Each structure stands twice: as structure tokens, then as C-alpha cells.
């Protein structure tokens, strides 16, 4: 698990540095200033990584991670804290999601997407 978190942190830091140069003015579905993110949480007990697809959101990081934690907890009680890495674009977020899925599959974890309703993601 430590390797999994290390990779996510490393990728997140690289993306955050790149995102500093992203163009301002991105807006989410509610019209607020937004960033591209995807979330993941690993359950060693279930041997599964839970994820949701990249989205443009203005929800603060801590609130987004808490919301994702609650959604994952509806499926499996025992999981590591959620992480919601930043990406500079939808394409980069999709690519990073793919990296996270492949990495966790190499560790023997299944990948399971969590569905969201748009109203759950409002800031």
C-alpha cells in the first residue's frame, strides 16, 4: 500500500506543478472556478481500488475527499483515506486515472468505478 500511495503522491505533485500554468477561467457545471480531479481510495481487505471518473469541480479538496470517502464507505467500510489528485486538463486526468488503475491492478487490486450524481459534487 505504501508504494501505491507513494506513486499517487508523486504523480499528484508533478501534476500540481504543471497545473500552475493552466489557463484561468475553467468553470464547473455550477459556474464556479474549477480544477480537473479524479478520486481514488484503496481497500486492502477487498483488494480493490475505488475510483471516480475525472471531473471539473470547484468543490474544495478536503470536502471532495470527504464526500468520496462517504461514497466508498457505502460499498466497503475498510479503506484507506481518499485522494483526489489535480490535473491540468480532462485528458491528463483520464491518463492519470489509467495509470492509477494499471498500477493497482499490478498489485492485484480490482478497479471499481463509483458513480456520482452532479448534485453530490456541488461546493
Residues 82-103 have pLDDT tens digits of 999 999 999 999 999 999 999 9
Kindly report the length of the chain.
Answer: 123
User: Average pLDDT, stretch 35-39?
Assistant: 94
What single DSSP character describes residue 120?
Answer: G
How much is the CA Rg of the chain, to the nearest whole Å? 14
Can you list the positions of beta strands (E) in 47-95?
A: 48-57, 86-87
Would you say 107 and 121 are in contact if contact means Cβ atoms under 8 Å apart? no
What pLDDT is stored for residue 78 in this prediction? 92
Contact 16, 86 (CB under 8 A): yes
- Do 107 and 75 meet the contact criterion of CB atoms below 8 Å apart? no
Check whether 54 has a pLDDT greater than 50: yes
The reported pLDDT for the residue numbered 33 is 80
Amino acid at each position: 500500500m505504501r508504494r501505491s500511495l507513494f506513486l499517487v503522491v508523486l504523480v499528484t505533485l508533478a501534476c500540481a506543478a504543471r497545473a500552475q500554468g493552466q489557463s484561468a477561467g475553467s468553470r464547473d457545471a455550477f459556474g464556479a472556478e474549477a480544477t480537473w480531479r479524479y478520486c481514488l481510495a484503496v481497500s486492502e481487505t477487498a483488494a480493490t481500488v475505488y475510483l471516480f471518473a475525472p471531473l471539473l469541480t470547484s468543490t474544495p479538496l478536503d470536502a471532495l475527499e470527504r464526500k468520496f470517502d462517504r461514497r466508498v464507505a457505502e460499498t466497503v467500510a475498510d479503506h484507506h483515506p481518499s485522494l483526489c489528485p489535480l490535473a491540468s486538463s480532462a485528458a491528463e486526468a483520464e491518463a492519470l486515472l489509467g495509470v492509477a488503475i494499471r498500477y493497482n491492478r499490478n498489485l492485484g487490486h480490482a478497479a471499481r468505478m463509483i458513480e456520482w450524481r452532479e448534485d453530490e459534487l456541488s461546493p
